[in-house]
């Protein structure tokens, strides 16, 4: 339920964040997205304490899901990469997510749960510091839209681009179907593995 609500929030907020990044630059929103996520390991630590609650974790996940900045990240890549190299750059950027997942899955068995949370907390804080002090602004000042004239466009009406470009509509539907299958499988796999016995996997 939280993932679905967050997805709807992301659907509404993504166009607004994209417009705002054209006015105020990419970096403020990339930094803010890291700040929103930094509390994730600490909410898990709180839940593990006697009398702790899982509610803060789900609330933070809900806010995080609605504040996705994948579009801003893609725009930042497009700002600094030549058009002929953007396909490769986008591929490398999003492939890094899988690389990080594989590394974490490989190294997790070597640490205790407490150590994993401490390492995660340190990495989350490091991400914020990296975004603030090392990540540069990719949108030149001359390319930023006029702040005084900027008006927030209705995020629903901005989706009309889907109906103006058939190729964009087909790509969007393909991504939506892929995500539906991928995340749907992810949501049920833990339950399936927990309730299934090893003998059920024997053919």
CATH number reported for the structural domain that contains residue 40 in this entry: 1.20.1250.20
State the average pLDDT over residues 36-48. 91
| Residue 116 belongs to some domain of the structure | yes
Same domain, 8 and 89: yes
Residue owning tokens 């190294």: 107
Predicted confidence (pLDDT) at residue 7 exceeds the cutoff of 70:
yes
Predicted confidence (pLDDT) at residue 65 exceeds the cutoff of 60:
yes
Look at 154 and 98; give whichever has higher pLDDT.
98
Check: pTM over 0.75? Answer yes or no. yes
Alpha carbon distances (Å) from 176 to 23, 65, 157, 168: 28, 16, 19, 12
State the average pLDDT over residues 71-77. 90
Last residue of a domain, one of 150, 170, 185: 150
Q: Which domain holds residue 105?
A: 2-150
pLDDT of residue 178: 73
Same domain, 185 and 144: no
Same domain, 28 and 119: yes
Same domain, 192 and 94: no
Q: Which of 9, 146, 149 is nearest to 65 (CA)?
A: 9
Same domain, 96 and 123: yes
What digits encode the pLDDT tens for the residues 173-190? 887 777 766 666 666 655
Predicted confidence (pLDDT) at residue 160 exceeds the cutoff of 50:
yes
| Residue 155 belongs to some domain of the structure | no
Same domain, 122 and 164: no
């Amino acid at each position: 339920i939280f993932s679905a609500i967050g997805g709807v929030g992301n659907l509404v907020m993504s166009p607004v964040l994209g417009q705002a990044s054209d006015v105020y630059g990419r970096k403020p929103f990339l930094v803010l997205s890291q700040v929103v996520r930094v509390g994730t390991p600490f909410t898990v630590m709180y839940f593990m304490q006697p009398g702790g609650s899982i509610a803060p974790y789900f609330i933070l996940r809900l806010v995080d899901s609605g504040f996705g900045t994948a579009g801003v990240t893609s725009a930042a890549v497009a700002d600094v990469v030549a058009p002929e190299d953007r396909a490769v750059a986008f591929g490398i950027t999003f492939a890094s997510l899988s690389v990080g997942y594989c590394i974490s899955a490989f190294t997790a068995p070597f640490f205790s749960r407490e150590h994993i949370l401490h390492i995660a907390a340190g990495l989350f804080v490091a991400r914020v510091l990296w975004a603030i002090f090392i990540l540069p602004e990719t949108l030149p000042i001359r390319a930023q839209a006029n702040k005084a004239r900027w008006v927030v466009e209705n995020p629903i009406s901005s989706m009309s681009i889907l109906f103006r470009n058939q190729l964009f509509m087909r790509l969007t539907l393909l991504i939506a179907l892929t995500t539906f299958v991928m995340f749907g499988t992810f949501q049920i796999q833990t339950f399936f593995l927990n309730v299934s016995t090893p003998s059920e996997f024997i053919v």
